[in-house]
Amino acid sequence: MANIVVVGAQWGDEGKGKIVDLLTENADVVARFQGGHNAGHTVKIKNREFILHLIPSGILHRGKTCIIGNGVVIDPRALIDEIEGLKRRNISFGKNFYISGRAHVIMPYHNVLDNMHEQAKGKKKIGTTGRGIGPAYVDKMSRAGIRMTDLLDTRGFREKLKANLTDINFLLVNKYKTKKISINKVYTEYMEYAEYLAPFITDTVVLANRLCEKGKNILFEGAQGTMLDIDHGTYPYVTSSSASAGGVCTGLGVSPRRLDGILGIVKAYTTRVGSGPFPTELHDKVGEELRLKGGEYGATTGRPRRCGWLDTVGLNHSISINGFTGIALTKLDVLDGFDKIKVCVAYKYKDPANSCSCSKKGRACRVTDFPQQVSVLDVCEPVYKELDGWKESTQGVTRMRDLPKQARAYIDYISETLNVQVDLVSTGQKRDQGIMINNPFTKAKKRR
């Protein structure tokens, strides 16, 4: 057996869906450990495109067990819509799909509060999807949350709902000057959801650990990316959960000793959705070209992504946190046709107060450790190394030797700079467009 974690190494949207779909061939189980339906994983199989928000990508494969763990927050309506949408496309649900009873539920008031909070911030908006994710995690941490298992206890659910809406309706009326939310309406609606989802709800901590003990290969699937992690990302411009490898243990209830490999998904350049600092962001024709060629629009919201060159300062931060045993480099083909390709190797920062100890007074210093202060990161300028680009197409290439030598040099440079092996290279959106250098499952078994 081997258990592999797949996490984004940047600000999300790195192409995790495709990589998870590819690796599922070697897995028995695919388990999602954090986030909500603010995530969007796009998978292309031949001429069919699937966009998944809550359901693990493994659902597209027959005979695979899929788990939504306790670290995920679930909008029942969104989940049911996703299940029904997949059923219409002949994807089966039954004993292959499980939902943690400990997973917290997104309620209608979470969506309302999410949007109200964002509007109140004005120019300082975080850039959330407005889908209630953050407020649901707030309730979880304040011990006012409602869990999936609560939906199966009709009396207890109504009591918790009434207690929550007493406070929330007061806030809606008196602060936000909007109408109350009806307890009866929400109760009736969520009881219908409970009836639909009840067959899938179970104790996934017991399930996941039993599957480990049986020697099953498990693929742990994350959403978003490390730079959006609530603890280690560019706070406060982050998501509301642990999007790094550590989230596996809390979000599924498995021991760190169960993890055999951690695969970091790295886009060949960098993108970001929403607000927040982004040192390598390009506001020119190159940035627009990356966006158009890469189809850089959110799978969940359709928002255009901000685009820039690869940032190894941020990636080294991700490597420290996650301990990647390998990298999957995605969207290499998007860089086809560029004369030169830049890679950020450091930041240049000038302290306004001239108090920085690493430089002479009044002069900018070179920063190689990712700053923990957003105010510092916001004014950092990238220091670039320029590499030769390539004019030949890499799209659909399946062997390293068939890549242009400059593309191979780019891959080697990334691996050497980050001191992590590149195990996979994606050369297109479809499942079969890519190069498997080292299979992470095989690699993990050899390491054990």
Residue of 13, 139, 229, 423 with catalytic role: 13
Q: What are phi and psi of 26, to 5 degrees?
A: -100, -5
| 3-class SS string, the chain | CCEEEEEECCCCCCCHHHHHHHHHHHCCEEEECCECCCCCEEEEECCEEEEECCCCHHHHCCCCEEEECCCEEECHHHHHHHHHHHHCCCCCCCCCEEEECCCEECCHHHHHHHHHHHHHHHHHCCCCCCCCHHHHHHHHHCCCCCEHHHHHCHHHHHHHHHHHHHHHHHHHHHCCCCCCCCHHHHHHHHHHHHHHHHHHEECHHHHHHHHHHCCCCEEEECCCCHHHCCCCCCCCCCCCCCCCCCHHHHHHCCCHHHCCEEEEEEECCEEECCCCCCCCECCCHHHHHHHHHHCCECCCCCCECEEECEEHHHHHHHHHHHCCCEEEEECHHHHCCCCEEEEEEEEEECCCCCCCCCCCCCCCEEECCCCCCHHHHCCCEEEEEEEECCCCCCCCCCCHHHCCHHHHHHHHHHHHHHCCCEEEEECCCECCCEEECCCHHHHHHHHC
Q: Cα–Cα distance between 228 and 271 in angstroms, integer?
A: 12
Annotation marks residue 339 as catalytic: no
What are the angstrom distances between the C-alpha of 124 and each of 119, 120, 176, 237, 275? 9, 9, 18, 10, 8
Q: Cα–Cα distance between 411 and 424 in angstroms, integer?
A: 10
Annotation marks residue 21 as catalytic: no
Residue of 37, 41, 110, 317 with catalytic role: 41
Which residues are catalytic, by number? 13, 41
